């Protein structure tokens, strides 16, 4: 079971809500995924009042926890103001913290991220920061009060999967007791399963489901992959080998000689 800021969830999949062809497809995809947390950009929804009201009504019907995010913010001050508005609008102190450094890669601004996280944690927010695999940034975010880290797999919407697998493994090993959720760059269920097999606690994705030919089937596929990856991690996978290893040992195996002359 996934536990974030003292709240337990049966699903380890977090689903974004942007880019779906219709509200009904979004609803079906959320239901098929089993996700109990859905993210929404406050700026996108507040900029289109009717859409925002319709989205909030849909989320209320689904009974999911809404995780507002600070998408589109480029300085430490912007996400702080956005988070404060989100708390009033959605009635939650949970916030997915994004501070973007580069518009082409959408890479997090680690300096602004740590600064904003420190302010928001001090104000009582449950901060889920979108970060990189950088170890020093991870240490500073935890020191600032973050109880969860969400390192990217690869750039948002790129569908490249886990671009720096070894760094993600190091991050997992270095912070064994901190919930780690891969956020961004996941393009296929196999990418999600790989992250879960490495011991990550969850996966947050959006584009891979919203832009799929059949978002509902894709959501279900991701849910199965995440569950399978977690089960494999908990079961304990065998280590890869350079040489073959017979599943049936040769030692002690009886050999029968056939006498063709008889």
Binding residues for 1-deoxy-D-xylulose 5-phosphate: 157, 184-185, 206-207
Q: Are 87 and 93 in contact (CB under 8 A)?
A: yes
Q: Are 73 and 108 in contact (CB under 8 A)?
A: no
d(CA 225, CA 182): 14
Q: Are 28 and 4 in contact (CB under 8 A)?
A: no
Residue positions in the annotated binding site?
157, 184-185, 206-207
Count Cβ neighbours within 10 Å for each residue of 9-41 and write b for 16 or more, e otherwise: bebbbbbbbbebeeeebbbbbbebbbbbbbbbb
Q: Where are the beta strands (DSSP E) in the chain?
A: 2-4, 7-9, 13-16, 37-41, 65-69, 94-97, 126-131, 150-151, 181-183, 202-205
Residue pointed to by tokens 């900029």: 47
- For residue 194 the two structure tokens come to 């790989």
Q: Which residues are bridge partners to 190 per DSSP?
A: none
Q: Are 13 and 34 in contact (CB under 8 A)?
A: yes
d(CA 230, CA 5): 20
Which residues are designated catalytic? 96
Radius of gyration of the chain (CA): 22
């Amino acid at each position: 079971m996934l536990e974030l800021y003292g709240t337990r969830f049966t699903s380890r999949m977090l689903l974004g809500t942007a880019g779906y062809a219709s509200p009904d497809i979004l609803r079906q995809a959320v239901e098929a995924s089993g996700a109990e947390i859905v993210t929404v950009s406050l700026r996108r929804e507040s900029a289109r009042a009717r859409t925002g009201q319709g989205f909030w009504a849909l989320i209320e019907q689904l009974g999911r926890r809404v995780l507002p995010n600070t998408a589109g913010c480029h300085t430490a001050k912007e996400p702080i103001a956005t988070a404060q508005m989100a708390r009033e609008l959605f009635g939650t102190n949970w916030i997915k913290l994004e501070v973007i450094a580069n518009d082409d890669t959408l890479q997090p601004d680690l300096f602004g991220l740590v600064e904003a996280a420190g302010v928001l944690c001090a104000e009582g927010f449950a901060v889920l920061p979108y970060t990189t695999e950088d170890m020093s940034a991870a240490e500073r975010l935890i020191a600032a009060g973050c109880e969860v880290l969400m390192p990217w797999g690869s750039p948002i919407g790129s569908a490249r999967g886990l671009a720096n697998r070894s760094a993600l493994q190091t991050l997992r090993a270095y912070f064994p007791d901190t919930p780690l959720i891969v956020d961004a760059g996941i393009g296929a269920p196999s990418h999600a399963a790989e992250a879960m097999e490495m011991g990550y606690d969850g996966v947050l994705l959006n584009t891979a489901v919203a832009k799929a030919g059949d978002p509902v089937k894709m959501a279900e596929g991701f849910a199965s992959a995440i569950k399978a990856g977690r089960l494999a991690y908990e079961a304990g996978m065998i280590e890869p080998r350079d040489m073959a290893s017979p599943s049936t040992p040769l030692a002690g195996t009886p050999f029968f000689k056939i006498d063709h002359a008889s």
